[in-house]
Amino acid sequence: MRAILLDQPGEAAGLLRVAELPAPVAGRGELVVAVACCGCNFADTMMRRGTYPHPKQYPLVPGFEIAGRVTAVGAGVDGFAVGDRVAGYAESGGGFAAFCAVAADAAVRLPDSVSFETAAAFLIQAQTAWHLLHTVSAVRPGEVVLIHAIGGGVGLYLTQLAVQAGAVVVGTVGTAGKERRALDYGASLVVNRAEADFVDEIGRFLNGRGVDRIYDSTGATILDRSFTLLRPLGQIVSFGEAEGRPLDNLWARLVEKSATFTRFHLGHLDFAAQAWRDGLRLTLAAVADGTLRVPVERVFSFEQAEQMYECLESRTVSGKLLLAVNPTATDSRS
């Protein structure tokens, strides 16, 4: 089968290439899916650079977020059949390929109204946002939440879901123009960190009121400065380190306000647990009825994988990038 293979971490030409590999076989509890589309996530770029915090063995096929048709069903799997249209979270990667094995518990059958492109664009980021808000924290009506990188994929889902939960949303971006979608999705204020001091701007906007929760994928100095805005007994939920790991003074920062610091990785959830099933059911239903918008920025052909990575790493993207693995595949929803 055709696959995008990453031979080893690095950015030299040729490390990310089209290769022919054996197709996967459905193991116990697994599905094999003929991939129509696969989502590109920041984690894919981290694996390319060798900075992904959850170790992977190289060479590897990137891609965690797939949509397509089931071609094989492993032993012990109920509720799926060959031919089903599905989306799935391939926790071990392998999505940038013609076929991908995925745990059945991490897959969901798609309603007729949801296309493969939409399905490949929502699952990981919307699930991450859902569990950031409702599993590792519990956002409440009237709370103020600060979302860093609010114009990115997870940030846009966090914005929509937090607003729907009754929270007031403020956020920051690092690139001009990325604030537009977040404001359209219900954010009350978005500060471009390249143009203004976000601590000053948000502090003025809130008139001295402390932020209840901070959702951070940046780390380093941005995270460190955010503690100034946090109320006593507030919570920070970390889910990435785009700028760098938290600074060494993290303990001192937490002690200052008796703050709570939580780190979240979607792959640490139990896919057989009710919390996973609830999040998947509710977000998919919201996507299907249009109450949760899925921002697809651009779709790349299979041969354009390198360009897709470069586009995501440019930090100018506000929405999802997709790899069209098999664009001629039938997406009949009849």
Domains and CATH numbers, the chain: 2-124+269-324 (3.90.180.10), 137-263 (3.40.50.720)
Q: In which residue are the tokens 């100018």 written?
A: 316
Q: How do strand 320-324 and strand 16-20 relate by DSSP bridges?
A: unpaired
Q: Are 173 and 192 in contact (CB under 8 A)?
A: yes
| pLDDT of the residue at 36 | 97
Q: In which residue are the tokens 């060479």 written?
A: 59
Beta bridge partners of 192: 173
Residue 208 CA to residue 186 CA, distance in Å, equals 22
DSSP 89: E
Q: E strand or H helix at 154, and its extent?
A: helix 153-164
| pLDDT of the residue at 283 | 96
User: What is the per-residue pLDDT across 187-225, written as a single tens digit (0 to 9) for each?
Assistant: 999 999 999 999 999 999 999 999 999 999 999 999 999
Can you list the residues of the chain whose pLDDT is less than 50? 332-334
Q: Are 107 and 64 in contact (CB under 8 A)?
A: no
Q: Take residue 248 and report the two structure tokens written for it.
A: 């060494």
Residue 183 CA to residue 259 CA, distance in Å, equals 28
| pLDDT of the residue at 333 | 46
From residue 21, alpha-carbon distances to 100, 107, 174 in Å are 11, 23, 39
User: What is the per-residue pLDDT across 226-262, written as a single tens digit (0 to 9) for each?
Assistant: 999 999 999 999 999 889 999 999 999 999 999 999 9
User: What is the per-residue pLDDT across 110-119, written as a single tens digit (0 to 9) for each?
Assistant: 999 999 999 9
Residue 297 CA to residue 300 CA, distance in Å, equals 10
Three-state DSSP state, 128: helix
Q: How far is CA 308 from the centre of its chain?
A: 16
Q: Are 101 and 70 in contact (CB under 8 A)?
A: no
Closest residue by Cα to residue 118 from 85, 150, 91, 93: 85
| pLDDT of the residue at 171 | 98
